[in-house]
Structure 1
């Protein structure tokens, strides 16, 4: 009996070491593929909340193609596009080699739109260049969400519009996922596009924000990879 208790205590004493080794060398209990998936789920591709900048300083990780972009103060520091009469403004970030990912961002409509219809915010994904990308249009004037693909300067709508109530001076939490050619869009915990086929051929691309004849602010940009 004493011998059995002593042996049991010895086995129990080894448990902390076993746990430590499992944490230090996780591939001993997980396959390499499982471990890679775990790392991909927890390590983000990109994040910017713009707080490291003093308005109106321009953030250094963004490339502006059109529009007037600068940081501004709205409770915290945000990224703002202030020119409201441009048909399409674009500011891009990230890596054009990104494949499948979830793109999250906060969007706010700030000033009244210009005269032409179809005005609001634009969120780009699978962005290769100004001729090749997918995007979500948040049309504040029509209370609609629309998906588009632009390939070789040819722009086509993806699927049907989704109805949504959009108002000025309110933050919207937008989540876009792209996996293969499947798009999902969720705003403020409401799903608006579910497993929507893009109908396109773009397999990689960066992300971006933009506007159409509107001034908008963006904050808390977050991109996370989807494990393959």
Structure 2
């Protein structure tokens, strides 16, 4: 059944145009479309249009960025719903932060809300418990449960995937549980509190019951995400570099970005010497939650882009990477996104992951580079890091991703197209043993497994 899309907040519908017909503008639209987003709300517009509340005290507040908050900790049952009642198979995800949580309270994300008392719920509970629940007229059946830290004042990424009678819940990339239930076959999404107050942000609904959110916590181990098939209808990324619309000289050092910077496909240049020096300044420094899009970065590009927290890099093209195209530095968990775009001439890495959390790379093209992604193996702090790679094209690339298995890193790959490598020498997943700063990580293997490197070499990698 085709799912109806919301007129107000859905973004980037899938296009039918072929790859050969791409213009620069069409390329970004199609590259982003793999997520098939039905609904998205970051609350940066400051309102709750499209949501309907029941109980509690709801408002948009500033909590790092703009967020939806339920502030009445004494409310027994506060709910806020969005979407349409005809939605069937989808994945809903949101960042959730309990502010107060009583001994009999909960904070939750809802899927297939058939009514105000019938739905599927992923709930953060006191006593360091997370449960996936089927709620039928207020009666709760637990489909899965896991013990993990639940702290007030901390953000968690919750996700529920509903596909037929199969229900799966994830928190920070780790599967809480899955089961079968026929409580609700269709329904809206929602957020909910009971005897608790909480903030909610970055609510997204995808019409594919495929990969759920993959946002690991900042420390400790978690169950790595399983490999599931993404939306098959989105075309592969373009290999044609866009034409600049103008020049934007970088005359005054690093450009600070908070909120969203839309470059309109201008070429930003230049910083640094084009080499591999570790002390070069970035062209852009993105604050937590910032987005940069529609930008061409010319050479020399210094240290590219620095993401200080989570960020979104959308339709950004590097003419010559130099040191690194982007470095992800955030240490509070969460997911950063690279959506569309491309990079050339990275003698070492394209994306460097020094912080923790997840980097999600989709619709990207890379040419003539060492590694597309590397989880730092000898930084000052040793974190568990995760990367999700989907629908990319690579040419003259040595390694798609390098991770540190001793720290619990994971990498998941789907729809990787390798161009012009008849000998199949490109390594999809390289494994290292992470070490303290000052030492050099040792290479310990490569290839798929069931613990760290998730992909099927026969179906997830295409040798073109």
Decide whether the 8 Å contact of 2:158 with 2:169 is kept in 1: yes
Distance 2:18 2:58 in 1: 48
Tell me if 1:169 matches 2:153.
Answer: yes
Give 3-state SS (helix, strand or coil) of 1:169's partner: coil
Out of 16, 37, 55, the residue aligned to residue 44 of structure 1 is 37
Q: CA deviation at 1:78?
A: 0.4
Q: CA deviation at 1:143?
A: 1.1
Indicate the residue corresponding to 1:65 in structure 2: 54
Change (3 A) 1:157 1:73: same
Tell me if 1:119 matches 2:102.
Answer: no
Q: TM-score w.r.t. structure 1 length?
A: 0.74
Distance 1:52 1:39 in 2: 21
Distance 2:32 2:96 in 1: 29
Q: TM-score w.r.t. structure 2 length?
A: 0.38
Distance 1:60 1:218 in 2: 15
Count of residues in Structure 1 that have an aligned counterpart in Structure 2: 186
What are structure 2's unaligned runs of at least 5 residues?
1-16, 22-30, 209-230, 233-464
1:24-60 per-residue CA deviation (whole Å, 9 max, x = no partner) reads 78xxxxxxxxxxxx9984321100000011xxxx411
Decide whether the 8 Å contact of 2:119 with 2:134 is kept in 1: yes
Backbone CA RMSD of aligned residues: 2.4
Moved over 6 A (4+): none
Distance 2:36 2:58 in 1: 28
Larger Rg belongs to: 1
Indicate the residue corresponding to 1:187 in structure 2: 171
What are structure 1's unaligned runs of at least 5 residues?
1-20, 26-37
Out of 103, 107, 132, the residue aligned to residue 92 of structure 2 is 103
1:105-151 per-residue CA deviation (whole Å, 9 max, x = no partner) reads 0000113x34xx33120211100211321212210x22111232233
1:157-209 per-residue CA deviation (whole Å, 9 max, x = no partner) reads 1334321111111111112111111111221122221x422x32411111000
Out of 209, 212, 215, the residue aligned to residue 194 of structure 2 is 212
Give 3-state SS (helix, strand or coil) of 2:104's partner: coil
Q: Which structure ranks higher in relative contact order (CA pairs < 8 Å, sequence separation ≥ 6)?
A: 1
